[in-house]
Amino acid sequence: MLKKLLIAAFALFATAAVAANVPLATGILDPSTPMANQNNLILSLNANVDGLLGSTVATAATTLTTIQPLATYTINGGVLASPGQALHVHVWGVNSADANVKTLTLAFGSANTALVVTGSGNLWAADFYIMKTAANAQTIEGHGITGTTVIAPVASTATQTDTAAITVIVQGTAATAGTMTLSGAYIEQIK
């Protein structure tokens, strides 16, 4: 009876894995640890399916004229498992009513990509994409808008160890005075 139940459960798990484009686990399921088997399947599904990884709607503002973190998220190792998989970071906010230069920077581990979002009192929005190109190699692209002005796209490369956790930080800089306020942000996984 237990053997039939395990076979049925494995067939169900295998169907779910194929439907989600998740590689099948090899080896024998240990009948003495069914909860661990289910949790491992859930972790595998979660790591291999598109979706929201984190978000914030809490405002954060720069208060100095040096680069400051506005939102931080840590992705687990292996989230970017194979070339072509990507992360999308979308952020939006508002500048103080002055003409001072404001810069929005995305840090992916030790790599940075920056957009200038200057504009007195302007609302701004930006999108950043991080795509795995090979083992421990990524490309980062960012573009946005401030007020009605399109911000030219920028690109850079990164060499972060993608099997380890990587910190993603949205940062802001008001060069001489004023503030830039992050109104919201989210990071999602694209497979």
Residues 141 and 106 in one domain: yes
CATH classification of the domain holding 69? 2.60.120
Residues 41 and 106 in one domain: no
Residues 91 and 77 in one domain: yes
Residues 32 and 115 in one domain: no
Residues 97 and 25 in one domain: no
Of the candidates 174, 188, 190, the one whose C-alpha atom is nearest the C-alpha of residue 60 is 174
SS3 36: helix
Residues 72 and 29 in one domain: no
Residues 84 and 15 in one domain: no
Residue 155 pairs in a beta bridge with: 141
Give me the tens of pLDDT residue by residue for the chain, a chain 191 residues long. 555 545 555 555 555 544 455 555 666 667 677 777 777 777 666 666 678 888 998 899 998 888 999 999 999 998 998 999 999 999 999 999 998 899 999 999 999 999 999 889 999 999 999 999 999 999 999 999 999 999 999 999 999 999 999 999 999 999 888 899 999 999 999 98
Residues 89 and 138 in one domain: yes
DSSP state, 22?
P
* The predicted structure's pLDDT at residue 34: 75
25 Ramachandran zone, left/alpha/beta (phi>0; psi -120 to 50): beta
Contact 155, 63 (CB under 8 A): no
* The predicted structure's pLDDT at residue 176: 84
* The predicted structure's pLDDT at residue 122: 93
Query: Among positive and negative, which fits the CA dihedral 116, 184, 74, 13?
Result: negative
Can you read off the two tokens belonging to residue 103? Answer: 């810069």
pTM, 2 dp = 0.76
Residues 57 and 41 in one domain: no
Residue written as token pair 């090979």: 134
* The predicted structure's pLDDT at residue 110: 95
Domain that holds residue 29: 2-47
Of the candidates 163, 161, 141, the one whose C-alpha atom is nearest the C-alpha of residue 153 is 141
Residues 113 and 131 in one domain: yes
Residues 77 and 162 in one domain: yes
Of the candidates 70, 140, 58, the one whose C-alpha atom is nearest the C-alpha of residue 103 is 70
Residues 141 and 163 in one domain: yes
Can you read off the two tokens belonging to residue 50? Answer: 């598109």
Residue written as token pair 């709607």: 57
For the chain, what is the domain count?
2
